């Protein structure tokens, strides 16, 4: 712990990561660090750099699979109050990385601000959502983001805005290690009209996704604008099971972790699905979830 001398209150060693992911799977991190201020975050990054410790950044763990052996690294989670702030100024919203996307959607509904209601039912933190341009059938985060405040591996803080800031399907051109906050441009609207969109999105998810299971959302990106789930379904893979991991019968792009499941079961099932889809359709499925090995 001498590496993080003076920071003992925010650093835990050999910390289990499973409890921080939606799958509830995976081994420990050498260091699990929860800075309470940007200044502490800078100091942590400095110490990691000096000691050549790899850094992983964790959001809400809603699209993350951690390997059974964990990671030999420092995992940094921005969950303290300073990193979970949201500030409204007219139709402008600044949301920090640790703010919860689903709660923010409802806050905007209450305030009569339209722009992110299409993200209803998408779990995760603002930081993670912006980094991967989270979205679904109704829209994505990037449509409303005007700029982001970032911090690089050396602790330098800077801002990136459109058009320099580019959002594409489930990805962005953000290469900085840390998203500190994002600025959204919203529009005033009738709360009841916004709520109708929210309800429509919820009904769609309830009818089409295995919501009451241990999963981490869509496993694969949709290739060439065609549903990855449709390819997996057409390959006859619904219900395919390896160990405690099973391809959902309700939505083929979801892999459910059943009792006794290990991360390696899900990884093996992912490989089996990719191989079968490649063989049958000559399509290379690309992961949407993040895997830490």
101 within domain boundaries: yes
Distant-in-sequence, close-in-space partners of 83: CB < 8 Å, separation ≥ 6: 35, 96, 97, 98, 180
Tokens matching residue 96: 């920090």
Number of domains into which the chain is organized: 3
In this structure, the answer to whether residues 178 and 249 fall within a common structural domain is no
Q: Which of 131, 137, 138 is nearest to 167 (CA)?
A: 131
In this structure, the answer to whether residues 73 and 89 fall within a common structural domain is no
204 within domain boundaries: no
In angstroms, what is the C-alpha Rg of the chain? 20
**For each of the chain's 293 residues, which pLDDT tens digit applies?**
589 999 999 999 999 999 999 999 999 999 999 999 999 999 999 999 999 999 999 999 999 999 999 999 999 999 999 999 999 999 999 999 999 999 999 999 999 999 999 899 899 999 999 999 999 888 899 999 999 999 999 999 999 999 999 999 999 999 999 999 999 999 999 999 999 999 999 999 999 999 899 999 999 999 987 999 999 999 999 999 999 999 999 999 999 999 999 999 999 999 999 999 999 999 999 999 999 99
Q: Which of 216, 140, 126, 209 is nearest to 171 (CA)?
A: 140
Coil vs helix vs strand at 171: strand
Provide the 10 A C-beta neighbour count for residue 287. Answer: 15
In this structure, the answer to whether residues 94 and 183 fall within a common structural domain is yes
Task: Give me the CATH number covering residue 103.
Answer: 3.30.465.10
Answer with the one of 16, 43, 77 that is the final residue of a domain.
77
Tokens matching residue 13: 């060693």
Q: Which of 12, 47, 18, 3 is nearest to 30 (CA)?
A: 12
Which letter does DSSP use for residue 102 in this model? H
Tokens matching residue 18: 């499973």
In this structure, the answer to whether residues 164 and 94 fall within a common structural domain is yes
pTM of the model: 0.94
Could you give the CA distance from residue 99 to residue 85 in angstroms, rounded to a whole number? Answer: 6
Task: Give me the CATH number covering residue 40.
Answer: 3.30.43.10
Beta bridge partners, 136, equal: 139
Answer with the one of 52, 77, 102 that is the final residue of a domain.
77
In this structure, the answer to whether residues 71 and 93 fall within a common structural domain is no
In this structure, the answer to whether residues 171 and 228 fall within a common structural domain is no
pLDDT given at position 289: 97
Answer with the one of 77, 105, 127 that is the final residue of a domain.
77
DSSP characters over 230-266: HHHHHTT-TT-EETTEEE-SS-TT-EEE-TT--HHHH
Could you give the CA distance from residue 159 to residue 154 in angstroms, rounded to a whole number? Answer: 15
Task: Give me the CATH number covering residue 256.
Answer: 3.90.78.10
Domain that holds residue 100: 85-195
pLDDT given at position 1: 57
User: How far out from the chain centre does Cα 155 lie?
Assistant: 22
201 within domain boundaries: no
């Amino acid at each position: 712990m001498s590496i993080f001398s003076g920071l003992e209150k925010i650093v835990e060693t050999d910390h289990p990561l499973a409890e921080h992911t939606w799958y509830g799977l995976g081994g420990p991190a050498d260091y699990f660090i929860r800075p309470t201020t940007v200044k502490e975050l800078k100091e942590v990054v400095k110490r990691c750099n000096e000691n050549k410790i790899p850094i992983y950044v964790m959001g809400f763990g809603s699209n993350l699979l951690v390997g059974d052996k964990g990671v030999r690294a420092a995992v940094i989670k921005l969950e303290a109050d300073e990193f979970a702030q949201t500030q409204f100024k007219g139709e402008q919203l600044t949301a920090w990385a640790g703010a919860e996307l689903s709660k923010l959607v409802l806050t905007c509904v209450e305030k009569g601000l339209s722009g992110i209601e299409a993200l209803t039912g998408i779990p995760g933190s603002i930081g993670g959502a912006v980094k991967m341009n989270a979205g679904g059938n109704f829209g994505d985060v990037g449509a409303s983001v005007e700029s982001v405040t970032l911090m690089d591996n050396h602790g330098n803080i800077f801002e990136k805005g459109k058009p320099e800031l580019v959002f594409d399907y489930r990805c962005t051109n953000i290469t900085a290690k840390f998203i500190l906050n994002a600025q959204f441009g919203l529009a005033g609207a009738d709360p009841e009209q916004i709520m109708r969109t929210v309800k429509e999105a919820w009904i769609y998810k309830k009818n089409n996704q295995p919501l009451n299971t241990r999963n981490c959302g869509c496993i694969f990106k949709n290739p060439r604008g065609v549903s990855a789930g449709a390819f997996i379904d057409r390959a006859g893979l619904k219900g395919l099971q390896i160990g405690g991991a099973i391809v959902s019968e309700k939505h083929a792009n979801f892999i459910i972790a059943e009792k006794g499941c290990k991360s390696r079961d899900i990884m093996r099932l992912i490989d089996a699905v990719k191989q079968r889809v490649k063989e049958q359709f000559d399509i290379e499925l690309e992961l949407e979830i993040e895997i830490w090995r």
